[in-house]
Amino acid sequence: MILTNEEPPHDHSHHEEHTHEDHDHHVHRHLSDIQKLIDQSDLSRRVKYNSKDMFMRLAEAEAKIHGTSIDKVIFHEVGAIDSIVDVIGAAIAFDYFKADMVLSSSVQVGGGFVKCAHGLIPVPAPSTLEILKGVPLKSGIVQFETTTPTGAAILAANVTQFTDEISFPIQKIGYGLGTKDFDIPNALRVYLIETQDMNQTEEQYLLETNIDDMNPELYGYVEEKLLDNGALDVFKTPIIMKKGRPAVKLSVLVDGSNEKKVTDILFQETTSLGLRKFNVEKVMLKREFLTLDTKYGTVSVKISYLSDSSKKYKAEYEDCKKAAIANQIPIAKVYREVDRLMQENL
């Protein structure tokens, strides 16, 4: 089963309808206040986790933009009750459908300017852009904000893949209508789909080069730069070249949109004079990321779905390492805490 968000605008209009004067009547909340409201509710554990994950994304974006810590972020529009209902309502809907995968069209962000707690700002709002970093966007369909930070967080936390292709059998269709009048329909369209094979297949490229004359210390730097610029995977294989020279075969997996950037980096940052390029078809399990609030801190967990509807998961190493160092405990203890929480919720 797939939920597919197909046509913009994604209208979460509570954010843009508030004027600057309205904020004086709002209850301004910190992330901890909202987490407490969620924890004290009688919602299911899965809905609570998803709701807090969405608010965590909002808090992380606001903290980065304002140069502060997450615990000092004050929610204005998204702290209002109606936006809390938006987030929790979305979490309840995703839990109800128990979709194996969630697809969305490219996100239409709109255009123009919007008035918020910090004054008049361009669309999309800085926090919306931060949350949707790496997500394909469209702009300018109307001179108005069509995707708010709240809507962006809902999409970022729940969408498995962003695509504008519709190549699947549609079973059911639902519509949600916004209250603003545009020159185009202000509607969110959702498709419900059922298919037998839920594995994702993508066409990608494998770039390879043999290097025998470069300082080995540079490989770590090159690898990080490649990954930061769109490489999906980077790996090194020890090989023996002609005349018995030891060398390294540097392999990079990349999609079409980032191929040129990755190729340029390989030529600029290594001693390579040429590359081999192969078309490869990558078959992937459906996956999603969950943010766990453990007693040792926040840990991201990657969940993947098998064809028999069972699941497997893996805690992100860097998060576990950070938690272990911060709490001065063995890293294995953090992993055990993640296992305990995941067993309660899978």
Q: What is the pLDDT of residues 211-242, one digit of tens each?
A: 999 999 999 999 999 998 889 999 999 999 99
**Whole-angstrom distance, CA of residue 22 vs CA of residue 38:** 25
Residue 200, Cβ density class (10 Å: 0-12 exposed, 13-18 middle, ≥19 buried): middle
**Whole-angstrom distance, CA of residue 14 vs CA of residue 82:** 7
Q: Are 247 and 257 in contact (CB under 8 A)?
A: no
Pairing assessment for the beta strands 101-104 and 2-5 based on DSSP bridges: parallel
Q: What is the H or E stretch that residue 166 is in?
A: none
Amino acid, single-letter form, for residue 118: H
331-345 helix and 45-66 helix, angle to the nearest 10 degrees: 130
Q: What is the predicted pLDDT for the residue at 45? A: 84
Q: What is the predicted pLDDT for the residue at 194? A: 76
Please report where in the chains the tokens 């030891």 appear, as a residue.
246
Q: Are 263 and 275 in contact (CB under 8 A)?
A: yes
Q: What is the predicted pLDDT for the residue at 90? A: 95
| 77 Cα distance to chain centroid | 22
**Whole-angstrom distance, CA of residue 197 vs CA of residue 154:** 26
**Whole-angstrom distance, CA of residue 118 vs CA of residue 123:** 13
**Number of Cβ within a 10 Å radius of residue 283:** 9
259-269 helix and 218-228 helix, angle to the nearest 10 degrees: 160
Residue 40, Cβ density class (10 Å: 0-12 exposed, 13-18 middle, ≥19 buried): exposed
Residues 6+ apart with CB under 8 A from 75: 28, 29, 30, 31, 34, 58, 59, 62
- Tokens for 79, please give them: 């702290």
Q: What is the predicted pLDDT for the residue at 27? A: 61
* Residue ranges for the chain with pLDDT beneath 70: 1-27, 76-79, 117, 195-202, 307-309, 346
**Whole-angstrom distance, CA of residue 96 vs CA of residue 82:** 20
Q: Which of 228, 236, 213 is nearest to 265 (CA)?
A: 228
- Tokens for 178, please give them: 């916004």
pTM: 0.55
Any idea what the Cα angle at residue 71 is, between residues 66 and 72, rounded to 5°? 45
